[in-house]
Amino acid sequence: MAKILVTGATGRLGNAVLRSLVQKIPASDVVAMARDVEKAEPLAALGIEVRYGDYTDYDSLVAAFEGIEKIYLVSAVAFSDRLAQHKNVIVAAGRAGVRHVVYTSIQRVNDELAPIEGVTESDIATERLLKKSGLTYTIIQHPLYADDLPFLIGTNAAKEDFSAPAGQGRASFATFAELAEAGAALLTETGYENSTCLLNAGQTWSFQDIADGLARLTGKPVDYQPISAQAFIAAREADGWPTSLAKFLSGWGNAIDKGAFDQSSRTLEKLLGRKPKDLEGILRVAFAL
- Name, in order, each residue with C-beta under 8 angstroms of 267's C-beta and a sequence gap of 6 or more: 182, 197, 198, 199
- Name, in order, each residue with C-beta under 8 angstroms of 198's C-beta and a sequence gap of 6 or more: 107, 141, 143, 263, 265, 267
What mean pLDDT, rounded, does the chain reach? 95
Question: Per-residue pLDDT tens for 114-172?
Answer: 889 989 999 999 999 999 999 999 999 999 999 999 999 999 998 899 999 999 999 99
Res. 95: pLDDT tops 80: yes
Query: What does pTM read for this prediction?
Result: 0.95
| C-alpha–C-alpha distance, residues 251 and 149, integer Å | 14
User: What pLDDT, on the 0 to 100 scale, is given for residue 32?
Assistant: 98
Question: Per-residue pLDDT tens for 170-193?
Answer: 999 999 999 999 999 999 999 999
Rg (CA), the chain: 19
User: What pLDDT, on the 0 to 100 scale, is given for residue 1?
Assistant: 59
The class of domain 3-142 in CATH terms is alpha beta
Question: Per-residue pLDDT tens for 44-58?
Answer: 999 999 999 999 999
Q: Span 62-76, mean pLDDT?
A: 97
| C-alpha–C-alpha distance, residues 98 and 61, integer Å | 11
User: What pLDDT, on the 0 to 100 scale, is given for residue 240?
Assistant: 93
The β-bridge relationship of strands 136-142 and 195-198 is parallel
Domain parsing of the chain, residue ranges: 3-142
Res. 242: pLDDT tops 90: yes
Q: How far is CA 85 from CA 40, 81, 126, 134, in A?
A: 21, 6, 10, 18
Res. 67: pLDDT tops 80: yes
Find the Cα–Cα–Cα–Cα dihedral 72, 125, 65, 20, rounded to 10°.
-10
